[in-house]
Amino acid sequence: MTQIDVRSRHAKSLEFMFSKVPFIRALGLELVEWEGQEGVVVVRMPWADMADNGGGTPHGGAVATLLDTTGAAAVWNGHDYERGTRGSTISLTVNYLGAARNEAVVATGRCVRRARELNFATVEAVSESGRPVASCVMTYRIAP
C-alpha cells in the first residue's frame, strides 16, 4: 500500500468513527486534527445540555467517552490494517483533574506503543480555556 492509500484508509476509518457511531454523534464529538502526525489526534466535545452534570460541568461519563474515543482514534491513526480491523478498548484508566464550566473540552490522544494486537495510548483533556479536565491511559486491541 502506498502512503496515500494508507492515509486514505485512516481517513475513512476515522470518518466512520465520528459520523456513523450513534453515541459519538449524540455527544457531538468532533475530530479536529489527525493529519499532522501519525498516532496523534485532537477531538473536541462541545458544551451541550445532554452531557451536563447538573451544575454546568460535563458528566464524568461524557468525559470518559471523549477520552476513550480520542485514544482509539489515535491508535487507528497510523494502524497497519493488514494486522487487523476489529478493535476494542481493553483497559481505560481515567484521572479527573478539574472541571470545564459551560465550555467545550478538547482532548489530545497519542498512541505511545504498538504491539502485535495491543496498542497503548495516553490522552490529555482540557477545557477550551486551557483548564485541565482529565487524563487517561488506555490499552486498545486490534485483532485480525
- Domains of the chain in start order, with CATH, are 3-143 (3.10.129.10)
Average pLDDT of the residues in 77-81? 90
Q: Are 113 and 119 in contact (CB under 8 A)?
A: yes
Has residue 1 got a pLDDT over 70? no
What is the percentage of the chain residues whose pLDDT exceeds 90? 73
Compute the distance between CA of residue 92 and CA of residue 1 in angstroms, rounded to an integer: 32
pTM: 0.92
Query: pLDDT tens for residues 45-70?
Result: 999 988 898 889 999 999 999 999 99
Q: What is the pLDDT of residue 4?
A: 59
Q: Are 28 and 43 in contact (CB under 8 A)?
A: no
